[in-house]
Amino acid sequence: AESDGSLAASRCATAVANSNIALIKYWGKADERLIIPRASSLSLTLDGLSTSTTVQFGASDADSLTIDGTTQQGTALNRVSAFLDIIREKAGINLPARVTSANTVPYGAGLASSASAFAALAGAACEAAGLDATPRELSRLARRGSGSACRSIFGGLVKWNAGHDDESSYAEPVDSGDMDLAVIVVLISGEKKPISSREAMRRTVVTSPLYDAWIDSCQDDLDAALAAIRQGDVERFGELTEANSFGMHASMMASRPAVLYWLPETVSALNAVTSIRDGGLGAWSTMDAGPNVKVLTDGRDAERVADELRNRLPDCEVQIHRPGDGLRFVR
Ligand code: DP6
């Protein structure tokens, strides 16, 4: 009975990962199957936006997935099964898995991300499968589930080295010195995404005449951002963040047909950020594959910037997020 117990224990594990927001973006793949990006990217892992995932091998007849209490079928389950196949093959096990996941923000609100989801899944599945993976190996594995997930293995500022193959494409932490950063999320309510980020980035790469110009600017943006971080220059870092995001969205909008995530309230929020900056407070916008606007600020200005945003955008929910930790195992 005792050996059964330890066997069962080794087949079940829980891990928690925080989401991350890219400040120099990942958009477009060089290899679709391995998820190798066209350019390196830089992100901040945030507190308060996390996924907790439990994986149990051998407890069910087939793979199953429950997110926030709702059983998932179809695309979501297939994507998790395909990801688990990579781990099963590495571990040499052939058992179905029961995956149970809970987000601190409601799934579908536009904030629960594939980054925290696949980082937590990679951690829990490796641990449950008895694989002893280093953080770098976990990052490479999480990347196979969703590119941005490789960055959520680590806390704080994180760089994803694009690399050129499975081995060389992984994330690693970046020393933030004494920089104190915060990201304010402005929630723009909207319907479900018109198009998934996966499909949208494929369309941008294939059809947008502006894509190559943007991707060519990414390495320079990244190098300049890393230099600004070393110098503790939040303003320069913020300017690069905002410019890189607008460039990405411009390239999306030039796709055929256009990829447009913006809603009218999105434009109001972007203009609010400019006007707060004109008033002398440091605030810089960035956006991902959805209508929400995220605002980078010096941590010491976060409360004041959030108040200014609330005054200008009375219909939006505004939340401050501070830097968060990397992947953690629950034992
Ligand atoms: C706009 O990581 O969700 O958030 O690799 O296809 O799963 P897949 O894409 P995903 O894309 C994230 C794109 C982004 C920018 C970023 O996080 O760098």
Per-residue pLDDT tens digits for 94-140: 999 999 999 998 776 667 789 999 999 999 999 999 999 999 999 99
**pLDDT for res 108:** 66
Give this complex's ipTM: 0.99
288 lines ligand 1 (CB under 6 A): yes
**pLDDT for res 7:** 55
CA distance 54 to 87: 15
324 lines ligand 1 (CB under 6 A): no
Average pLDDT over residues 290-303: 97
Asked if pLDDT for residue 192 goes beyond 90, the answer is no
**pLDDT for res 194:** 83
Pocket test for ligand 1, best of 197, 261, 287 (most atoms within 8 A of CB): 197
How far does the centroid of ligand 1 lie from the alpha carbon of residue 8, in Å? 35
**pLDDT for res 8:** 58
* Bridge partners, residue 114, by sequence: none
Helix, strand, or coil (residue 64):
strand
Q: How many CB atoms lie within 10 A of CB 109?
A: 14
Strands (E), 128-245: 157-161, 170-173, 181-187
Minimum-distance ligand 1 atom for the alpha carbon of 118: 7
Domain spans in the chain, listed from the N-terminal domain onward: 2-175+326-330, 181-321
**pLDDT for res 10:** 65
CA distance 123 to 54: 9
Domain over 181-321 is classified CATH 3.40.50.720: no
How far does the centroid of ligand 1 lie from the alpha carbon of residue 1, in Å? 45
Asked if pLDDT for residue 229 goes beyond 60, the answer is yes
CA distance 119 to 101: 12
**pLDDT for res 143:** 98
CA distance 46 to 157: 9
152 lines ligand 1 (CB under 6 A): no
- Residue closest via CA to ligand 1's atom 4 equals 288
How far does the centroid of ligand 1 lie from the alpha carbon of residue 146, in Å? 7
Look at the domain 2-175+326-330 and name its fold. Answer: Ribosomal Protein S5; domain 2 (3.30.230)
Q: Give the chain's mean pLDDT.
A: 95
244 lines ligand 1 (CB under 6 A): no
Average pLDDT over residues 146-170: 98
Minimum-distance ligand 1 atom for the alpha carbon of 20: 17
How far does the centroid of ligand 1 lie from the alpha carbon of residue 71, in Å? 24
Dihedral sign (CA 168, 173, 179, 184) = positive
Minimum-distance ligand 1 atom for the alpha carbon of 289: 1
- Paired tokens of 5: 């117990």
**pLDDT for res 112:** 72
- Residue closest via CA to ligand 1's atom 5 equals 147
197 lines ligand 1 (CB under 6 A): yes
Q: How confident is the model at residue 3 (pLDDT cuts 50, 70, 90)?
A: very low
- Residue closest via CA to ligand 1's atom 6 equals 198
CA distance 256 to 309: 34
Pocket test for ligand 1, best of 25, 26, 292 (most atoms within 8 A of CB): 26
Minimum-distance ligand 1 atom for the alpha carbon of 287: 1
Asked if pLDDT for residue 1 goes beyond 50, the answer is no
Minimum-distance ligand 1 atom for the alpha carbon of 113: 3
124 lines ligand 1 (CB under 6 A): no
**CB contact burial 82-106 (16+ within 10 A = b; e otherwise):** ebbeebbeebebebbbbbbbbbbbe
CA distance 92 to 235: 50
Tokens 């590495």: give the residue.
90
Pocket test for ligand 1, best of 29, 34, 148 (most atoms within 8 A of CB): 148
Q: pLDDT for 251-287, tens place per residue?
A: 999 999 999 999 999 999 999 999 999 999 999 999 9
Kind and range of the H or E run holding 41:
strand 41-57
How far does the centroid of ligand 1 lie from the alpha carbon of residue 201, in Å? 8
How far does the centroid of ligand 1 lie from the alpha carbon of residue 37, in Å? 10
